Amino acid sequence: MKKMADIKNILALGVGLMGEGIAQVALMAGYNVTLVDINDNLVNKAYSGIQAGIKKSEEKGQLAEGITAADLMTRCKKSTNLASAVKDIDIVIEAVIEKMDVKKQVCKTVMDNGPSHVIFASNTSTMSITEIGKDCGAPDRVCGMHFFNPVPLMRCIEIIKGADTSNETFNIAMDLAGKLPCLRGQRYIAPVLKDRPGFIVNRMNAPVIIYLHWAFDEADKRGIPWECLDADAGGKMPMPPCVLTDFTGIDTNFHIMNYYKETLSPDFEPGKVIKKLYEKGDLGPKTGKGFYDWSQGRDAIMQKIKNAEPAGIFDLNTVFAIMLNEGCRILDEGIASGFKVIDDANMAGMNAPGPFGAGKKNYEQWAKVLNDLADKTGKEYFRPIDLMKSGEFSKMRK
């Protein structure tokens, strides 16, 4: 396999918003990049987006000295034929649709047609890296490379080791990720040592969604307006629960919960309110309506929340307790080497602090909060695990 110093050619496969961002930072790092998607329109749209993004960086003085946007774009090629485009590629970074059969198919095409050293790195946010690479003929050269959106601005990249990923592949992916620039702060590369659903950042935040679904159903049952539920966050979240869920997309939220229901626990069964909104097709700003009617504009909605009487249902302290417990599960399962990686990854991937700093002081009180929550919601997944309630996690920093 090639050494990191020899990596020159990267293929961005699936160039929607994520793929476009990945290609942009790869070009800015000095690599030759080939954009590949299923038709010319998608590839041309991504090319234009990258060009605009790099031009903007040039205007802000963010490119290397003596390098122009035009110089970088000469190293960007386009193709709609993966089998021929991959012939001289060192690493493929895949960001196609989140469907396992499609990911497995393109992974096999890469291994069948690429050079004998080519690495396939999937940007999946939840799917099993081991399963993606299982039937490709070279599972040792398959790993996960999970970026956060928007790629040029979000610092975190998770590098995931599948069950068959070789140490060499993992180390090359770690090195490459560290060379990709971030336009807002320093890149943070989180090594994910085991291939488990949600990896580190999404996994730690996953059970918070169970709590949100319960809160939505509780507010609905009591006839409490959504802005009152959002007022519970007291302006301490970048986006309060209903706004956040609308922006994520009700459909995305619904599918994520069903995935975790299959892979982690039946307690991830989507709540009644989310099911109803999903079935009605009220998916958030992209359809004009979700929890809120977005035709009135974001500012009007945020003002409404600011003026609302808090519902007293949703509690931020409980969110941290849930995250600490899940962070302890991540340590327990050997997904991360220590709690510092988990906290740092959350800050770099979500722009929000992880739970361990406060958790070291509050774990006993939070364990009680979680037991009460499990009793109140009927969701056993909330029960504190031994590593959390004993406080033993505090010895697992690195």
Instruction: Please tell me whether residue 94 adopts helix, strand or coil conformation.
Output: strand
Strands of 91-94's sheet, edge to edge?
A: 76-79, 32-36, 9-13, 91-94, 119-122, 142-147, 156-160, 188-192
Task: Spot the catalytic one: 9, 123, 125, 205.
Answer: 125
Alpha-carbon distance of 177 to 314, in angstroms, equals 37
Is 158 among the residues known to form the active site?
A: yes
Measured at the CA of 339, the angle between CA 230 and CA 386, to 5 degrees, comes to: 85
- Inter-axis angle of helices 241-248 and 250-263, to 10 degrees? 90
Task: Quote the DSSP letter at residue 93.
Answer: E
Task: Spot the catalytic one: 57, 128, 166, 202.
Answer: 202
Alpha-carbon distance of 120 to 114, in angstroms, equals 10
Alpha-carbon distance of 327 to 356, in angstroms, equals 8
Is 125 among the residues known to form the active site?
A: yes
Q: Which pair of structure tokens corresponds to residue 105?
A: 């198919």
Task: Spot the catalytic one: 94, 158, 227, 326.
Answer: 158
Is 117 among the residues known to form the active site?
A: no
Alpha-carbon distance of 98 to 122, in angstroms, equals 10
Strand partners, 79: 36
Peptide linkage before 270 cis (omega within 30 of 0): no
Residues noted as catalytic:
125, 146, 158, 202
